[in-house]
């Protein structure tokens, strides 16, 4: 039987936990989505203070280790997740389909995706919206994906049409060029 609705209990906090959208928070969506999934996998809560501290820790780490932190592409985002959270394994899947995302969700794995945020049409973004952005896809209901969108404080359980999400997926350039392909990052417990 096909499950019509899945919605994993991934904790939410925005990438600007205290509504300060200056740097580094303006470009902290990759960090924020990693933190949300890491907490989910440990069944741990996530406070605004913890999100703030983790983002700052991750930005410091990236500046020291890689010399940049803004807009990591899919491979760089996966590398960051594994470097910061050694108990996680990160796998990038390219040329991803909606069915592949559904299959991951069915197996209990929330999905991290890189998107052109301007194509999402979120009314709560500051126009025109972020060119390079990330979402956690945590569920599916009918023809929509249920997401945690760190780009707005109203981003918990934010519902987007599946077609719109798929049309916005892009492995954008980070510190090195991205592939431009539709990709997803699957974070799972290492050895799990």
pLDDT tens track for 172-188: 998 889 999 999 999 99
Q: How many CA atoms lie within 13 A of 24 on its CB side?
A: 22
> pLDDT digits over 79-102, tens only?
999 999 999 999 999 999 999 999
Q: What whole-number distance in Å separates Cα of residue 167 and Cα of residue 120?
A: 8
pLDDT for 67 equals 75
Query: Is the CA virtual torsion 121, 122, 125, 129 positive or negative?
Result: negative
User: Cβ(73)–Cβ(114) under 8 Å?
Assistant: yes
pTM given for the model: 0.94
Report the alpha-carbon distance of residue 100 to residue 90 in Å, rounded.
16
Q: What does residue 117 show for φ and ψ, rounded to 5 degrees?
A: -60, -20
Whole-number average pLDDT of the chain? 92
On the question of pLDDT at 1 being above 50, the answer is: no
Q: Is the dihedral of CA 13, 21, 166, 114 positive or negative?
A: negative
More confident residue, 103 or 70: 103
Q: Using 50, 70 and 90 to split pLDDT, how confident is the model at 25?
A: confident
Tally DSSP H helices, then E strands, for the chain: 5, 7
pLDDT at 22: 86
């Amino acid at each position: 039987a096909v499950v019509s609705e899945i919605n994993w209990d991934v904790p939410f906090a925005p990438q600007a936990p205290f509504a300060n959208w200056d740097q580094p928070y303006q470009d902290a969506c990759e960090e924020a989505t990693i933190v949300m999934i890491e907490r989910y996998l440990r069944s741990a809560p996530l406070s605004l203070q913890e999100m703030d501290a983790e983002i700052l820790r991750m930005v410091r780490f990236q500046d020291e280790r890689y010399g940049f932190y803004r807009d990591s592409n899919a491979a760089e985002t996966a590398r960051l997740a594994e470097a910061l959270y050694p108990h996680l394994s990160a796998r990038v899947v390219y040329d991803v389909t909606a069915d592949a995302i559904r299959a991951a969700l069915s197996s209990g794995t929330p999905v991290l995706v890189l998107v052109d945020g301007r194509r999402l049409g979120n009314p709560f973004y500051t126009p025109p919206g972020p060119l390079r952005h990330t979402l956690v896809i945590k569920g599916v209901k009918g023809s929509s994906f249920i997401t945690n969108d760190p780009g707005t404080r109203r981003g918990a359980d934010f519902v987007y049409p599946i077609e719109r999400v798929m049309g916005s997926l892009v492995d954008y350039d980070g510190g090195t060029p991205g592939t431009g392909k539709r990709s997803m990052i699957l974070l799972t417990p290492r050895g799990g």
